Structure 1
């Protein structure tokens, strides 16, 4: 996932040095930097995709606080860091309390290191904030990792489940998905869904499905659902306008992902439709747990020999 960072400093050499150091310190992150030397040019760079704003306080046509105020409107989820030579005792931060992640002095011995730490934390927090996370997320992920989901026999069995689902609902796409920490991966797919690759969790419908109390979620039209306002274009490109998903629930009551069917036209799903897909999801989970138990037995027998 690309994270857009805006770095603002009237000193061109200083801002390029800051960008170079951040790229080096956060090389594992996919960062895309925009830079600006004035308030006006910085405001023009602000978009909803901006993950963080790093700004000097003194700008030729305003202040860093003016920019942070603009960011609150243009990209309210962005983290804002004041990275400046200006003495903090001369700055009144009352008006923007809560809007600034932190003040970092450029002349501090650990200034750049602290800036990198803050930016890394800001990005991680923003990623988490773009999609809902179950309260039992840690336990859920541990359960997911406990299964061997690469078994060819298991995947062949799950493929038959998606075949049944697609046939019943007369759709061109169906899949069994798992929800990892930051991604959605496809275990078994029918039809056009076979061409799909792992996607960012923030772009996924299924990350909402795993939160459903009744373990099934219906979306008649993604363009009419406010949860997918920023995701609808991606979903429509995949041929997903209507959606029905039923969760795969472990024997301990933890959800590892859903079985889903997709339609490229808007449509309604009945209570009987939901019940049918829920039953298929239960069968899919039974198959996963059966394969896990068989693998465990086989391992024990191998050790005994």
Structure 2
């Protein structure tokens, strides 16, 4: 399977960069000449790496890095430019995998494919990406007495309903803890926990909207995930469970054993189910807090 690389540069230079990338038979190039076009491509198809110039017609390479962080934060980036590092705000690279390659070097074009493959491999091996406010998110999650709350039956009924509504093989509700995802209820599967680097929800929770992966085998982020393959998962849709303070603590998800898509209406319905799961959790916690207050008095 070839790796798709997005090359972002000016109209006069982008084709040359794409040709350099495709000198490696394992790589195929897509091109964009603006920050906005780069974002649209990142949203439209699985990209395993971005190679971007610094100076673009509608912005800079730093803005491309920002789009990567917002749209596909797991995607590594190579800043391929003759602008010197001292002139670039490298603080903007935080929470992103970014490599710098000076294109004015004599062998820069030949080295580009080596650097691209290197950052792709590093990204695949690196630990999962955590939200910028991970500490606050975990503090929010810790406020819920999950082990003591009477939510199992309610969540089991909810996942049964969700699976039936979407005619999906598997539906689950999972809370995303520090190192793993803890499945509170699951229809159609025997899921207990998965490490965060092995669960798609690690990526889904970073998106504001519902995340859909129509075919996992065609998505470079997950195609080689043996855990997902062992579970027979081919498609995924996940919606955030968001606490009242805006922190995402879990996901309500659909899995299927065949590739499938979800239209805008279905995605909105899945988000509604996630809101319902959050409301159940909030209600049970409120009742538990009230009981403790009465005992204390």
- TM-score bracket, shorter-length normalisation: 0.5 to 0.7
Q: Pick from 154, 158, 163: which aligns with 1:157?
A: 154
Distance 1:76 1:245 in 2: 26
Deviation per CA, 1:53-103, whole angstroms, max 9, x where unpaired? xxxxxxxxxxxxxxxxxxx9699649xxxxxxxxxxxxxxxxxxxxxxxxx
Q: Pick from 192, 205, 219: which aligns with 1:225?
A: 219
Match for residue 210 of structure 1?
A: 205
Distance 1:74 1:178 in 2: 30
For the residue of structure 2 that corresponds to 1:153, the secondary structure is: coil
Shift in CA distance, 303/152, structure 1 to aligned 2, threshold 3 Å: closer
Q: Pick from 190, 193, 197: which aligns with 1:198?
A: 193
Q: What TM-score, normalized to structure 2?
A: 0.57
Match for residue 137 of structure 2?
A: 140
Q: What TM-score, normalized to structure 1?
A: 0.56
Match for residue 295 of structure 1?
A: 288
Distance 1:74 1:273 in 2: 36
Match for residue 231 of structure 2?
A: 238
Shift in CA distance, 301/266, structure 1 to aligned 2, threshold 3 Å: same
**Contact 1:149-1:155 within 8 A present in 2 as well:** no
Distance 2:270 2:254 in 1: 9
Distance 1:250 1:151 in 2: 19
**Contact 1:241-1:264 within 8 A present in 2 as well:** yes
**Contact 1:220-1:266 within 8 A present in 2 as well:** yes
For the residue of structure 1 that corresponds to 2:181, the secondary structure is: strand
Shift in CA distance, 75/227, structure 1 to aligned 2, threshold 3 Å: closer
**Contact 2:240-2:250 within 8 A present in 1 as well:** yes
**Contact 1:236-1:264 within 8 A present in 2 as well:** no
Distance 1:178 1:229 in 2: 24
Match for residue 270 of structure 2?
A: 277
Q: Pick from 158, 174, 199: which aligns with 1:177?
A: 174
Match for residue 251 of structure 1?
A: 244
Deviation per CA, 1:215-269, whole angstroms, max 9, x where unpaired? x1100001111221331x3212212111111110001010001000100000111
Number of aligned residue pairs: give it: 182
Match for residue 279 of structure 2?
A: 286
For the residue of structure 2 that corresponds to 1:227, the secondary structure is: coil
For the residue of structure 2 that corresponds to 1:293, the secondary structure is: helix
Question: For 1:7-86, what aligned pairs fall within 5 Å after superposition?
Answer: 77=122
Shift in CA distance, 285/225, structure 1 to aligned 2, threshold 3 Å: same
Shift in CA distance, 74/148, structure 1 to aligned 2, threshold 3 Å: closer
Match for residue 168 of structure 1?
A: 165
For residue 285 of structure 1, report the CA deviation from its aligned partner: 0.2
Structure 2 gap ranges (5+): 1-116
